[in-house]
Chains A and B, each alone.
Chain A
């Protein structure tokens, strides 16, 4: 058994964005009204009709006509179909993607600086960084941000998710966590929801129970070197998540680097290859509602499909996974070994700890 163990509860989870003013060619993608107009014209709608519809859209009138035209802007054998269910039936609107030099993440494919599509990590200055998810989404307004100011999309998503799903737990174990050496890094899901402080952030030093469900249990061997913990075995990562986002976070060829701040909080970048169909589901499952917060859903479908860079489908040859990196912030927590030792109070409206969740 390791001499030292430190656990954390995840307070923040967001796409690792590194937005710069000039990282999108000619500026970011236009507003939804322009995207809608382009796509409606591309499926054969008369220009005057499009102009009328967009006028209604902007003035928030004729909602049924606008709602119907936008939702059913896909075409199949000449007939309208739901564009969110079947984005492949809308012509590619060719949204812009990031062309800048920098992006957070990991050298997942091992090509290093020989990879022409790769970024340079602004934290580590490592070259050959694979983060095509950031490349794909980074020119949409809602996905622009930094590790300090997360993208708007992620504020919306994570702040909803963390209050409506069992907490995520991270545990680091080793002989002496203050020194370089091997460690074991474990990701679990709790039975309890994250306990908040009066600022709405995770309260430190609360005790959680681990959900025995194997779908959210991950153990990685790693090491601490120069104060940074990394994983040294790059297995696949899986973690259940409220389906408001991706219902299950799957990262293949999992990478991690983690640091502990002076205030005892923990930050990490995690990454790997993620099946892009999962991401499409998350971005598109709310249909029109999600489109308003994210951008053209068919446009996102094509961005993900085109920027996917791994795991080619043996039948079609097209890549089924996209390199991705996420930012985690966490605070110290305790993990109960027995249900009766839980100290944390249940979140409002939940059942008492030790009984039903």
Chain B
């Protein structure tokens, strides 16, 4: 896709550590940096991963290989090569096209986030010293310099049935010289030995080391460099597969090798032995996370999570966002027509932040199917995950204001909910439950709150990280 080419060319090499705060200084444990954005700034996937499409053929995972820093409305942020550190040279007409990203009162610099003072005295956010801007024609989430192919294709006036687009051939405009999207991901400035990659691992809500096929890598706590006795031929050894280095291993930065007792030369990362988890059958999974406290995901950085949200595990759908008490969190979503089914796939249907924003904090209750109707009114059995009055958006988490003035956490555009039918952690008894809307009165139209091109329905889905 043209947009992608532009972005790849324009990606600012980012140091993940730029936006990080130390998570743990516990002795013997590596510090996992957390990606938390400052006041007024969030993160958003670009392009197709915004999920504007409403009628795809298959339930493919939306690729999140481009994640940008954005303002609170999800509008992409940019940097300008000609800006010297700590100063903006984009003024007058330039500043009408590239709108300085204001730092609101009370904004506090930290890490590599700083606040600069512009010539007119106003305050502007800067990342690694580079002032941040929005583009004046960006009006939809995922847009880059005013262009959003997915939006035009699926919601524009020439959009047809199931993603058919009848307009002229679209070509993304070139990125103006010197301007770059302020990217969180991909990470491009890490030096990696052959066999290592860095990928977003959504199951682990972060960016982690992976093997050459994209499967998540894990490290074992440094003070347990030898596997526990259970691993000597036991089930543990079948779960945790040492990540073998070439017989002549090369040390590089944080990467080194260690000779195991069984003769295998094993990679280490920051002094900790590296493993794969046998249960991860594809990329983007982190099934080994939480299985044993000795092993943890080989994070490069973790995404911000509010104190009210954790990651839990289900028996049938993998990782899920949960409350602090471990109860499954859900999102409200629009029905999506998919030839391959898809709603029963691991991780459920691909997220579409655009649909989540359409629905906001409304349940849009319709006609329930029997299993839900017998539990009670839709407005009662689904309860919002409330946020503190002073909660602030950060990373992929947003804070929506409800009609009653209360705050509700949202993730990737979707407001978060709990379900009264779940009795214990791991239950997903509300997952994949639908309600439909149909009017029999020709003078009454139905509208479920987001665009549909068939009969109208919404459904509740587990909120996956």
Contacts and interface: CB of A to CB of B under 8 A. Distances in A.
Contacts, number: 162
A196 interface: no
Contacts of A164: 340-342, 344-345
A111 interface: no
Contacts of B115: none
A165 B367 CA distance: 23
Given A76-B445, A287-B162, A165 B341 contact: yes
B423 to A, nearest CB: 10
Contacts of A82: 452-453
Interface in A330-357: 350-352, 355-357
A165 B164 CA distance: 27
Interface string A188-223: 000100000000000000000001011100000000
Contact of B438 (A68, A166, A280): A280
A336 to B, nearest CB: 13
A318 B440 contact: yes
A165 B436 CA distance: 20
Contact of A215 (B287, B337, B429): B429
B371 A248 contact: yes
B440 A284 contact: no
A277 B369 CA distance: 10
Interface in B109-144: none
Contacts of B454: 84-85, 284-287, 290
B82 interface: no
Contacts of B459: 243, 247
Contacts of A350: 281, 346
B341 A160 contact: yes
Contact of A287 (B161, B316, B343, B440): B161
Contacts of A356: 279, 285, 287, 314-318, 346
A247 B434 contact: yes
Q: How large is the interface on B (under 10, 10 to 19, 20 to 34, 35 or more residues)?
A: 35 or more
A278 to B, nearest CB: 7
B161, B317, B345 — most chain A CB neighbours (10 Å): B161
Contacts of B162: 286-289
B292 interface: no
A250 B439 CA distance: 20
A111 B160 CA distance: 49
Given A242-B343, A287-B337, A214 B453 contact: no
Contacts of B160: 63-64, 67-68
A290 B453 CA distance: 11
A271 to B, nearest CB: 16
Contacts of A328: none
A269 B346 CA distance: 32
B344 A64 contact: no
B220 interface: no
Contact of B455 (A85, A236, A240): A85
Contact of B279 (A247, A277, A355): A355
B77 interface: no
B213 interface: no
Given A84-B454, A161-B341, A250-B369, A64 B158 contact: yes
Interface string B162-180: 1010100000000000000
19 contacts: A64-B166, A67-B161, A71-B161, A76-B442, A76-B443, A81-B445, A88-B441, A89-B445, A166-B316, A236-B370, A238-B369, A243-B343, A247-B369, A250-B369, A280-B438, A286-B454, A287-B337, A352-B279, A357-B317
The 3 closest A-B pairs by CB, nearest first: A164-B341, A64-B166, A284-B455
